[in-house]
Structure 1
């Protein structure tokens, strides 16, 4: 008898749907409940049975909604989507546990699978040890605001998820089951009664605190758990590793509070606050853990011995009449007192449950780590190794990973700003320099001259422009942070829109001004990271780095960074610039050429992938994306951005969060040790891909940048105007006050297309490219080659897999309703007609190349997910279109505006990776 593995998922969805329906009936009345239920039934019939009459009935019902009904329907279906997501996440956990309980072979993406694959490939334990010694894996949370849900809503989701998990993990008595369902009912009611929309715009510090919530719920606890799992897994393969402690190679970074590119609200004061908030969370966590540990390690000298180092630590503790013979407890009391003193020293206020005021603060996190190491070694030496493997092990790992700074913050700014600042301070210090008028070689020569001397350029007695004053303040704040929290607190300075060597040297000069770069010592305390974003900048990236490495003063500084150079690649802007296919290909080619340049100069390459949540911004499954990198691009070190609603999807649930972190480690290990020296793709593959890219680029540019009226079409047929009004972040939607596509940020660009179910940035141009390719090569020969590329080339397969997902989430019929919002009928028909034709062509080409009968045939789990969620998503789109029509016709009732914003939330939740 075959077990229906998805039955528990359907049961959870039914349960949560029933509780939400009951809530709607209780809160809004029977008529509203019946209306919502009728819409749901029509939508389910249409989606699951392809019932055309159901679609007509659905549209007729939705079009006839009264103003007061639209918000209720939008809220109901938004929460249906949210609850469906919770059930789906819980099902992933359920299935993972079922595999582990059954002793199934490790699944791809798990560390156990990666380690087994490494040994099967002939690697030895020493190879794995060397990998971990040199590894650096860092997901980086960014402040990009496509996370539209308030933290209060996320808290409600967490409560519901925990109650579902409780039902899974234990056999409940009838009384317990009833209590659990009652608690679920209360949690769903709380969700319904919690305001979905923000009433005010987020500040940067609000964004910082939202980001910190993931450290509190997931990272502080799950990262130590993951490290322990990795160490135990390796020990199971080789007993010699039983005492192994891995270096802290996995760190979660942040841009929140440090990303100034286009965000005037990130100031030196905001950076100081962000660092202080992070330090407070780390120290409060350590204080609580040390208190708990002290209550556990009540070992008496009557029964256990202690090392001299431990007894020395205990002497600093605060003894009571009952704890004089409990040295471990006393040692932890002393540690707690020093932590409390550290809190006071760093933050200038008293922590909760402070220790003795006379305690000496720790000078750095390593001193705390050394004290905990003393406890660890004493336990090992004196027969208490099992105790060392408990909470103490996790606390020691947390301190090694998070230090006193919690998360390394990257500082990012646009190259144009650095250029203006350097030009101004040079002109003041050396009048007549005329830096801005110099060519690239002239700038390089002048900047190298400045980097050869320790003499500062900026003077505290000169009044500079507001921009320059603000930038200099940021760099000084960064230096102060290095002294206060350690250099790990601010390790990276990133230059957006890098297009030449002078961009990097300008940053170096500003770092020198703050003392972060010290020319006489040849020392650099942070990484200078170029960000190549546009198609042109990606194409020029290898030559830019070649020129940089030819400069002896720079390579001398690089020696102080272990001859490791980080390079960031921008997926979002390159996609907006050249389209999905060309962006992916130019990124891939840039990586190949960068690997060559770095090898020739003996410099280690670390790539930082600026991926968004959506495919249109480089998103997609991280495991496949890392394995699809060209040979040599993943050298044990990788950083990648985590953005928007993807952060919540990946890390709000602690267990799901740990699984996603494990995937990053497994993929990096496999890409480095197993496929790291994979040969370059076949020449005919490269030639074919170049042809496809050229044709796709022409098609994309012709539509987006060369079609008269396209900007007007975009602003009228999507919710971009309404998104710009949403209080979902501190950053403006456009870099300038214009409606030009060039000035629009990639995030709202992609987010808007997702809302109207077109997902255009994730596929447009592919159909035209394949048609042109087949016309040139011949139908049979050309298709055979494309199918071979799909089967044999991970890069091409990953590109098509991501496009498969995007096209499956699109709906051309729903998109046509958004197109109807465009008032100019001729413009509407001209542009949407092209989009519709290209969509059909792209779907047909994808299916033929991947040899599928339907989209997502190769990904049944995602296909199931879409089937479950779309009946709740379709009504939201229909309601949104109707409200947009009313709002733009002048019915600007606050309830309609709120309804539009509620529908934006719900659609984003249903699509999951739309931003």
Structure 2
């Protein structure tokens, strides 16, 4: 009944509004876009009916031209297709804005996973004391990355923000004006953004969304759970930041860029403090208090615009405490809550706003270490093993100067390490305190960073940095337990850990794990690796914090985030929930204040409830473990066979949009790691890999092998065991539902034409057969009649979005076919493919 009410509300405030404003949209005088709104429904109908009849995108688009236009030349036809793309891009923005505007009405502050819901449940079950105890030493951390899965330029993001507000207030005149602005605003960056551009794009969200949403959420937590003798830790919600510090595969992130971004973060939070202080001063106009606040305001202003003037968070808090003392003693504590709220913001955000991380690949570090060894020892790099080099360099008294090295990467790496001290001096230690090592699978990968810091003049007690291994491949995950065991027992690393309060952060890569091992195997491997790492850490009295490299869609570790973290059993350390957020997930899940507060709450309560509210469905018994292991191994073999298929990489290269990701001006980072021209599977970045399957509407990494594994057990007469597993394990159920979400966004009719392709037909049929099998098996397992049956609102949203972009998919496939046939102007068709990438990705928001 409740779902029916929500669906009806969605229809009224989202679907109906979209129809109304879309009609307004159609009549606007866009440049060169006259009558597109009239033609678009015809292309949609031709596509919808044509695909059901098995027609190819080429036939569908050509029939559209013949039936509904009088265009004759190729140039005229492609010009019309570009106009349609531009129109659909703006329709997607309109729908985004309407759905965002409806968020508050579709979600209630007592919904499952909210602070109030957790309080009510804790009160009923007598767990308030346990929750307060957990809050005292628990945190969630959202780490923003620059990974390019979001295609809106900054100007368009600003319009979306304003359009959402206009829709909330039903201001038709304002909506009309903003839609006109949208029609004339380019959706494509003329040039590839720099890492600094990417950083500034996300800093916009920090300043105008998260400063308010996190501040208000912390205030709410204090009001609900605070008592006279308990105040929640201000560090309970934290922000991390990768743009400008993530060097992995990005040659454009230099040591100087990192310094610039750190300075922008410092200045940005001071600007927020300065603006907020104006509001505080408006209320606290009392003698003595106003003088202190006026002085503070001038100091913050000076620190923003004069580099030589610095102010620390402690200094700001000290002046606020002084003002509060006078307020209480002389003015009856009037508006004390105003100063309290402001001081909490300073405690939360410091002078860093978000923690800037450094990240680099372990293989790059090894080359740098080889260079250093040769310089210090005078011997060739291959004279010693990596471990012997570490031992030699640790005993060396050398202090390295970046300028003494000819190799640019060595010089830049050392400059970055020297910069850590500068950033910590300016932004506080919280401003930069982690060095993340991608592709970690050996002890040396961690120790190399430690050695480089020692050689850059940091004494043992001065290394105020957490060295964070990132285990992301199947091999890395397999080795992770042994690597950490060895590190925990290494005397040098033991001393370093003691300095870091015996806390170890370990990062796990969902995106690359899924690319490497398939959906089920990757998730189970990460789960069991976390269990082993938890035990080895506890055995060595180390507090382990897991940092999950999760993307937006389930194929990259996204999906139902609250359900995922709420399903972790007591065998996995739950000291902090930390995960990456990127691209369209930033705008769709944390893009405005209401959404951000709601989703921060969902993560926070998931972690706290997981410890406080025990459930047998969170813990796996021996039989359940064996069953998941068996299913994971079967699916892994199926997925590995697919990867080994001779057509796997050629199919992506020739039939998908894979090679076009790197040509779009959406991110500063290259789309593959290797520098060679030959495309290798291991060099593929997870984002273009998963994204290309999504553009084909096949979403292979989100389900392939899962259905085959289920069918294998059914054929053995053991499906009742799997059904019991689904009903008894929250973790397994979440994996199934996430995989079904991937399949719900799949549309194989778009590529039916490939099944008869002489080169790729057999491979396409392998993909299609596994999709059909997975869908059939999962529906049988869940008892659902349709995919995402338990999520009617998301399903409805997906359906509308898929309808909007269907003509866009037709255009993209039409252009790809022309390119495959080598027909027409190649440059024009390549541009059509790239332009249609944008709208397709931007429309795929229902993923986390």
TM-score normalised per structure 1: 0.86
Equivalent residue of 1:107, what SS?
coil
Matched, 1:723 2:665: no
Offset of residue 644 of structure 1: 1.5
Offset of residue 429 of structure 1: 1.6
**Residue 36 (structure 1) aligns with:** 40
Distance (Å, rounded) in 1 between the aligned partners of 2:668 and 2:588: 21
Equivalent residue of 1:23, what SS?
coil
Offset of residue 383 of structure 1: 5.4
Equivalent residue of 1:93, what SS?
helix
Q: 1:376/1:18 Cα in 2 relative to 1: closer, same or farther (>3 Å)?
A: farther
1:494-505 matches, cutoff 5 A: 494-505=436-447
Matched, 1:79 2:90: yes
Distance (Å, rounded) in 2 between the aligned partners of 1:258 and 1:913: 29
* Contact 1:150–1:197 (CA under 8 A) maintained in structure 2: yes
Choose which of 437, 450, 455 in structure 2 pairs with 1:508: 450
* Contact 1:611–1:641 (CA under 8 A) maintained in structure 2: yes
**Residue 905 (structure 1) aligns with:** 838
The one-character-per-residue Cα deviations of 1:350-382 (angstroms, maximum 9, x if unpaired) are xxxxxxxxxxx5552211112112223433445
* Contact 2:205–2:591 (CA under 8 A) maintained in structure 1: yes
Q: 1:136/1:568 Cα in 2 relative to 1: closer, same or farther (>3 Å)?
A: same
* Contact 1:579–1:700 (CA under 8 A) maintained in structure 2: yes
Choose which of 172, 190, 200 in structure 2 pairs with 1:209: 200
Offset of residue 623 of structure 1: 0.6
Distance (Å, rounded) in 1 between the aligned partners of 2:719 and 2:616: 29
Offset of residue 451 of structure 1: 4.0
When structure 1 is superposed on structure 2, of 625-634 and 538-547 the one drifting more is: 625-634
* Contact 2:559–2:847 (CA under 8 A) maintained in structure 1: no
**Residue 750 (structure 1) aligns with:** 690
Distance (Å, rounded) in 1 between the aligned partners of 2:829 and 2:97: 28
Distance (Å, rounded) in 2 between the aligned partners of 1:710 and 1:199: 33
1:123-202 matches, cutoff 5 A: 123-125=127-129, 127-167=130-170, 180-202=171-193
When structure 1 is superposed on structure 2, of 271-280 and 57-66 the one drifting more is: 57-66
**Residue 855 (structure 1) aligns with:** 787
Distance (Å, rounded) in 2 between the aligned partners of 1:122 and 1:46: 60
**Residue 267 (structure 1) aligns with:** 254
Q: 1:460/1:583 Cα in 2 relative to 1: closer, same or farther (>3 Å)?
A: closer
When structure 1 is superposed on structure 2, of 263-272 and 646-655 the one drifting more is: 646-655
* Contact 2:103–2:594 (CA under 8 A) maintained in structure 1: no
Q: 1:502/1:14 Cα in 2 relative to 1: closer, same or farther (>3 Å)?
A: same
Choose which of 716, 728, 741 in structure 2 pairs with 1:805: 741
* Contact 2:146–2:242 (CA under 8 A) maintained in structure 1: yes
Matched, 1:653 2:592: yes
Offset of residue 57 of structure 1: 11
1:488-567 matches, cutoff 5 A: 488-516=430-458, 518-519=459-460, 521=461, 524-567=463-506
CA RMSD of aligned residues (A): 2.7
1:166-315 matches, cutoff 5 A: 166-167=169-170, 180-235=171-226, 240=228, 244=231, 246-299=233-286
Distance (Å, rounded) in 2 between the aligned partners of 1:596 and 1:426: 36
Offset of residue 712 of structure 1: 1.3
Offset of residue 795 of structure 1: 1.2
When structure 1 is superposed on structure 2, of 186-195 and 899-908 the one drifting more is: 899-908
Equivalent residue of 1:137, what SS?
strand
Q: 1:495/1:145 Cα in 2 relative to 1: closer, same or farther (>3 Å)?
A: same
Choose which of 658, 663, 667 in structure 1 pairs with 2:606: 667
**Residue 74 (structure 2) aligns with:** none
* Contact 1:139–1:639 (CA under 8 A) maintained in structure 2: yes
Distance (Å, rounded) in 2 between the aligned partners of 1:456 and 1:160: 59
When structure 1 is superposed on structure 2, of 839-848 and 686-695 the one drifting more is: 686-695
Offset of residue 29 of structure 1: 6.7
Q: 1:33/1:789 Cα in 2 relative to 1: closer, same or farther (>3 Å)?
A: same
* Contact 1:45–1:54 (CA under 8 A) maintained in structure 2: no
The one-character-per-residue Cα deviations of 1:772-821 (angstroms, maximum 9, x if unpaired) are 2233x32xxx211111111111111111111111100000101335x47x
Distance (Å, rounded) in 1 between the aligned partners of 2:202 and 2:456: 28
Distance (Å, rounded) in 1 between the aligned partners of 2:407 and 2:607: 45
Distance (Å, rounded) in 1 between the aligned partners of 2:596 and 2:636: 37
Distance (Å, rounded) in 1 between the aligned partners of 2:364 and 2:26: 53
Matched, 1:366 2:357: no
Matched, 1:835 2:767: yes
Choose which of 77, 80, 83 in structure 2 pairs with 1:69: 80
The one-character-per-residue Cα deviations of 1:19-65 (angstroms, maximum 9, x if unpaired) are 211126x6557643321243356678999xx9999999976654657
Q: 1:484/1:32 Cα in 2 relative to 1: closer, same or farther (>3 Å)?
A: closer
TM-score normalised per structure 2: 0.93
When structure 1 is superposed on structure 2, of 525-534 and 411-420 the one drifting more is: 411-420
Q: 1:857/1:459 Cα in 2 relative to 1: closer, same or farther (>3 Å)?
A: closer
Distance (Å, rounded) in 1 between the aligned partners of 2:647 and 2:744: 28
Offset of residue 386 of structure 1: 5.3
**Residue 874 (structure 1) aligns with:** 806
Offset of residue 679 of structure 1: 7.0
Matched, 1:701 2:637: no
Distance (Å, rounded) in 2 between the aligned partners of 1:55 and 1:697: 33
**Residue 73 (structure 2) aligns with:** none
Equivalent residue of 1:264, what SS?
coil
Matched, 1:689 2:628: yes
Distance (Å, rounded) in 1 between the aligned partners of 2:58 and 2:23: 25
Matched, 1:399 2:346: yes
The one-character-per-residue Cα deviations of 1:90-147 (angstroms, maximum 9, x if unpaired) are 2222122xx45xxxxx22121122233344444343x333322212311000011111
Q: 1:713/1:545 Cα in 2 relative to 1: closer, same or farther (>3 Å)?
A: same
* Contact 1:563–1:603 (CA under 8 A) maintained in structure 2: yes
The one-character-per-residue Cα deviations of 1:806-841 (angstroms, maximum 9, x if unpaired) are 100000101335x47xxx933211100111111101
Equivalent residue of 1:389, what SS?
helix
Distance (Å, rounded) in 2 between the aligned partners of 1:850 and 1:644: 31
Choose which of 424, 434, 444 in structure 2 pairs with 1:482: 424
Distance (Å, rounded) in 2 between the aligned partners of 1:132 and 1:877: 47
When structure 1 is superposed on structure 2, of 580-589 and 865-874 the one drifting more is: 865-874
The one-character-per-residue Cα deviations of 1:546-569 (angstroms, maximum 9, x if unpaired) are 111111221121111111100000
Offset of residue 437 of structure 1: 5.8
Aligned length: 831
**Residue 379 (structure 1) aligns with:** 327
Choose which of 294, 311, 318 in structure 2 pairs with 1:333: 294
Offset of residue 413 of structure 1: 0.6
1:762-781 matches, cutoff 5 A: 762-775=702-715, 777-778=716-717
Distance (Å, rounded) in 2 between the aligned partners of 1:583 and 1:460: 39
Distance (Å, rounded) in 2 between the aligned partners of 1:535 and 1:586: 8
Equivalent residue of 1:494, what SS?
strand
Q: 1:290/1:688 Cα in 2 relative to 1: closer, same or farther (>3 Å)?
A: same
* Contact 1:112–1:233 (CA under 8 A) maintained in structure 2: yes
Q: 1:63/1:796 Cα in 2 relative to 1: closer, same or farther (>3 Å)?
A: farther
* Contact 2:565–2:607 (CA under 8 A) maintained in structure 1: yes
Distance (Å, rounded) in 1 between the aligned partners of 2:403 and 2:632: 54
Matched, 1:611 2:550: yes
Distance (Å, rounded) in 2 between the aligned partners of 1:55 and 1:631: 51
Distance (Å, rounded) in 1 between the aligned partners of 2:317 and 2:635: 54
Choose which of 499, 519, 535 in structure 2 pairs with 1:580: 519
Distance (Å, rounded) in 1 between the aligned partners of 2:711 and 2:582: 34
Distance (Å, rounded) in 1 between the aligned partners of 2:614 and 2:364: 40
Distance (Å, rounded) in 2 between the aligned partners of 1:56 and 1:743: 32
* Contact 1:282–1:406 (CA under 8 A) maintained in structure 2: yes
* Contact 1:248–1:401 (CA under 8 A) maintained in structure 2: yes
Distance (Å, rounded) in 2 between the aligned partners of 1:598 and 1:69: 61
Equivalent residue of 1:495, what SS?
strand
Equivalent residue of 1:742, what SS?
helix
Distance (Å, rounded) in 2 between the aligned partners of 1:459 and 1:9: 60
Distance (Å, rounded) in 2 between the aligned partners of 1:884 and 1:386: 68
Distance (Å, rounded) in 1 between the aligned partners of 2:794 and 2:544: 34
Offset of residue 669 of structure 1: 1.2
